[in-house]
Amino acid sequence: MSPLERLRASRERLTGQRLRVDPVVCEGIGQCAMAASRLVHLDRWGYPIVPTEELGAAELGPAQRAVNSCPRRAMWLE
Amino acid sequence: MTLTATCIATDTLLTGPVTLSPSGPADSVTASVRESYDDHVFRFGPRPDVSAALLADVEHAGLLGHGGAFVPVAVKWRTALLRKGPLTVVANAAESEPLAGKDGTLIRQRPHLVLDGLMIAAQALGADRAIIWLHGDDHTARAVFEEAFEERGWSGRDIPIEIIDGPVHYLAGEAQAITRATSGGPALPFPRRAVTDPWAPQTIVQNVETLTRLALLARGLPNTRTRLLTVLGAQRMVVEVEHSTTIEQVLIRLGWKVAPQAVLLGGYAGIWATWDDVAGLEVNEKKLRSAKLTLGAGVMVPLAEDACGVRVTADLVAYLASMSARQCGPCLFGMPALAEHWAALADEDGDRRTMDRLRADISAIEGRGACRHPDGATRLSTSALQTFSAHLGAHVSGMRCRHRTHVTLPGTSR
């Protein structure tokens, strides 16, 4: 996500939710990055890098899609 | 019971400094005095009966964990007391850091103070199980504890404490790994998920030095003004020094004549710092932390002037990568990548781009591991890039490394 996008998100209402990954369950399949390409990035080994900050209201939808897309159930909102 | 017992003051935890075998369990090569149960009771009095009210004293005294992270004991206790699930209290005696030997030395010298501490913690928290968790190859510690049980007249089913041998692995002493192992899983770390069920089983892991300090506190005795350190020089030594002792004074006391170029603070996953930056610093953890440093579990490795810090770092990162839990991406791929970059730099096969790739991989894996193990490797790498920056310049610019002496730290041989 670009700094500008992050700034926009920060002006929005924060949801109090964070996107979390269980790195042990995660197998680096990469579905999450396809489902939410602006929120989830992959490192060079294919494992997801997710924002550590609270999600803005507009990010909640993509985050939920990333969670739902994972075939290993390695992601959740907290 | 001898009169000499009264002569030894309670202002130190150890009965004396020891020289240990180069790595592995804290078996001393010099004579070390083990305090018998009679001497222990004579000096400290019987173990006091405690209740959850001890939490207030623990909080007031500001007792911190001494396993390396310095987590306030009161924080762990309050969480445990709020929840209702069956509780296991673990005395973590697994010093999986290859050089660390202060806990093992404490166990060998004052096993009864450790046992008291564990029993006090278990009683205060109303625990259902009390466990001593050992590193798998620490057979002496097991023998010491079994002997201590006998001295206390515990036998068969009357032994209130279980001794469990963990695996022989770098991560065996990691608190989450112990938690998982004591509840029937593999001794591997796992990521922290928020626990919502107040009745879920829970485990509290406390380092053995923390427990000895708790045993003093519960008796109303003052905490010692000392810190236990393991220092690797020509020999591996465990010493107890006042908090106000500077790092330079520690080395002088241990017989160093020539100043080292740098010091590795905190062990194999520690922080490199140049000698000029740390020589005058006190071993007081609070002061070290304000300088963004830490001695962790009290391990110090001075690096001699003629040794190559890049080579030693490459060995260390390779060691850390080999000690992976093999569970998550940063551990499976990130750490070997760091090790590869460092090996290239040490072999003078790398250039500026190698350093750029190293920096990129450091920031890619930082904070993303299932446990803190990858973070140890990134922190070590970052500090090495800073500390040895001038020397790294020589390594990547085609000039030959001028350090001729090969220093190999125990367990990291290629």
Asked if the Cβ–Cβ distance from B328 to A26 is below 8 Å, we say: yes
Least confident of A47-51, B346-350, B380-384: B346-350
H-state helical runs in B152-246: 175-182, 208-218
The pLDDT-based confidence of B410 (bands split at 50, 70, 90) is confident
Asked if the Cβ–Cβ distance from B370 to A24 is below 8 Å, we say: yes
* Chain B residue with Cα closest to A49: B368
The verdict on B267 and B331 lying in the same domain is no
The verdict on B263 and B177 lying in the same domain is no
Answer yes or no: is pLDDT of A13 > 90: no
Query: Does residue B330 fall inside a structural domain?
Result: yes
Residues of B with CB under 8 A from a CB of A: 190-191, 193-194, 327-330, 332-334, 361, 364-365, 367-370
The pLDDT-based confidence of A2 (bands split at 50, 70, 90) is low
pLDDT at B156 (0 to 100): 86
Facing residue for A24 by CB, picked from B190, B334, B361: B190
Facing residue for B327 by CB, picked from A20, A24, A49: A24
How many angstroms separate the CA atoms of B33 and B51, rounded? 32
* Residue spans per domain, chain A: 3-77
The verdict on B96 and B212 lying in the same domain is yes
The pLDDT-based confidence of B178 (bands split at 50, 70, 90) is very high
The pLDDT-based confidence of B8 (bands split at 50, 70, 90) is very low
Distances (CA, A) of B335 to B115, B122, B254: 38, 38, 34
Stretch B138-167: mean pLDDT, rounded? 94
pLDDT at A16 (0 to 100): 87
Facing residue for B329 by CB, picked from A43, A52, A78: A43
The pLDDT-based confidence of A9 (bands split at 50, 70, 90) is low
Asked if the Cβ–Cβ distance from A78 to B330 is below 8 Å, we say: no
Pairing of strands A41-42, B162-165: unpaired
Asked if the Cβ–Cβ distance from B329 to A49 is below 8 Å, we say: no
How many angstroms separate the CA atoms of B87 and B95, rounded? 23
Answer yes or no: is pLDDT of B261 > 90: yes
The verdict on B263 and B137 lying in the same domain is no
Query: Does residue B316 fall inside a structural domain?
Result: yes
How many domains are there within chain B?
Answer: 3
Return the top range by mean pLDDT from B152-156, B188-192, B268-272, B408-412. B268-272
The verdict on B260 and B153 lying in the same domain is no
User: Looking at the complex, does the CB of residue A13 fall below 8 Å from at least one CB of chain B?
Assistant: no
Average pLDDT, chain B: 92
Average pLDDT, chain A: 89
Range of the domain at B358: 309-396
Stretch A52-61: mean pLDDT, rounded? 91
Beta strands in B55-128 (DSSP E): 87-92
B352 near B328, Cβ under 8 Å? Answer: no
Query: Does residue B413 fall inside a structural domain?
Result: no
How many angstroms separate the CA atoms of B316 and B83, rounded? 40
In the A/B pair of chains, how many CB contacts fall below 8 A? 42
Asked if the Cβ–Cβ distance from B367 to A43 is below 8 Å, we say: no
Least confident of B8-22, B273-287, B343-357: B8-22
pLDDT at B260 (0 to 100): 96
pLDDT at A4 (0 to 100): 60
The verdict on B320 and B257 lying in the same domain is no
How many angstroms separate the CA atoms of B209 and B284, rounded? 16
CA dihedral A70, B327, B181, B265 (to 10 degrees): -130
The verdict on B195 and B282 lying in the same domain is no
3-class secondary-structure state, position B304: coil
**Encoded tokens for B302:** 């001075």
pLDDT at B6 (0 to 100): 41
- Check if CATH label 3.60.15.10 holds for domain A3-77: no
Plot region of B102 (φ>0 → left; ψ -120 to 50 → alpha; else → beta) = alpha
B131 near B88, Cβ under 8 Å? Answer: yes
Residues across chain B? 414
DSSP 8-state assignment for residue B54: H
Facing residue for B191 by CB, picked from A23, A43, A47: A23
A22 interaction partners in chain B (CB closer than 8 Å)? 191, 193, 370
The verdict on B299 and B313 lying in the same domain is no
Asked if the Cβ–Cβ distance from B369 to A23 is below 8 Å, we say: yes
pLDDT at B24 (0 to 100): 84
CATH number at residue B95: 3.40.50.11540
Asked if the Cβ–Cβ distance from A43 to B327 is below 8 Å, we say: no
Select the residue from A27, A32, A41, A43 to test the B interface by mutation, using most B Cβ atoms within 10 A. Answer: A43
Stretch B146-167: mean pLDDT, rounded? 94
Of B302 and B191, the structure prediction assigns the larger pLDDT to B302
Handedness of CA B333, B339, B344, B347 (dihedral sign): negative
Vertex B289, ends B283 and B292: CA angle to 5°? 115
Shortest Cα distance, chain B CAs vs residue A17, angstroms = 13
pLDDT in tens, A29-44: 999 999 999 999 999 9
The verdict on B49 and B198 lying in the same domain is yes
B106 near B209, Cβ under 8 Å? Answer: yes
Answer yes or no: is pLDDT of B5 > 60: no
Facing residue for A45 by CB, picked from B194, B329, B367: B329
How many angstroms separate the CA atoms of A38 and A50, rounded? 10
Least confident of A7-16, B238-247, B347-356: A7-16
pLDDT in tens, B303-351: 999 999 999 999 999 999 999 989 999 999 999 999 999 999 999 999 9
Select the residue from B174, B331, B333, B361 to test the A interface by mutation, using most A Cβ atoms within 10 A. Answer: B333
Pairing of strands B299-303, B262-265: antiparallel
Stretch B341-368: mean pLDDT, rounded? 95
Residues 6+ apart with CB under 8 A from B109: B14, B15, B16, B32, B33, B34, B35
The verdict on B71 and B208 lying in the same domain is yes
Asked if the Cβ–Cβ distance from B191 to A49 is below 8 Å, we say: no
B105 near B28, Cβ under 8 Å? Answer: yes
How many angstroms separate the CA atoms of B102 and B239, rounded? 8
Asked if the Cβ–Cβ distance from B329 to A46 is below 8 Å, we say: yes
Asked if the Cβ–Cβ distance from A22 to B194 is below 8 Å, we say: no
B365 interaction partners in chain A (CB closer than 8 Å)? 43
Rounded to two decimals, the ipTM of the complex is: 0.83
Of B334 and B9, the structure prediction assigns the larger pLDDT to B334
Asked if the Cβ–Cβ distance from B193 to A26 is below 8 Å, we say: no
Facing residue for A24 by CB, picked from B191, B364, B367: B191
pLDDT in tens, B89-148: 999 999 989 999 999 999 999 999 999 999 999 999 999 999 999 999 999 999 999 999
CATH number at residue B385: 1.20.1440.230
Of B213 and B6, the structure prediction assigns the larger pLDDT to B213
pLDDT at A7 (0 to 100): 58
Nearest C-alpha neighbor of B19 from the set B293, B230, B160: B230
How many angstroms separate the CA atoms of A45 and A41, rounded? 11
Answer yes or no: is pLDDT of A46 > 60: yes
Measured between its terminal Cα atoms, the distance across chain B in Å is: 51
Plot region of B396 (φ>0 → left; ψ -120 to 50 → alpha; else → beta) = alpha
The verdict on B256 and B143 lying in the same domain is no
Which one of B284, B303, B322 terminates a domain?
B303
% of residues, chain B, pLDDT over 90: 79
pLDDT at B399 (0 to 100): 80
Asked if the Cβ–Cβ distance from B364 to A24 is below 8 Å, we say: no
Question: Could you tell me the pTM of the whole model?
Answer: 0.91
The verdict on B171 and B195 lying in the same domain is yes
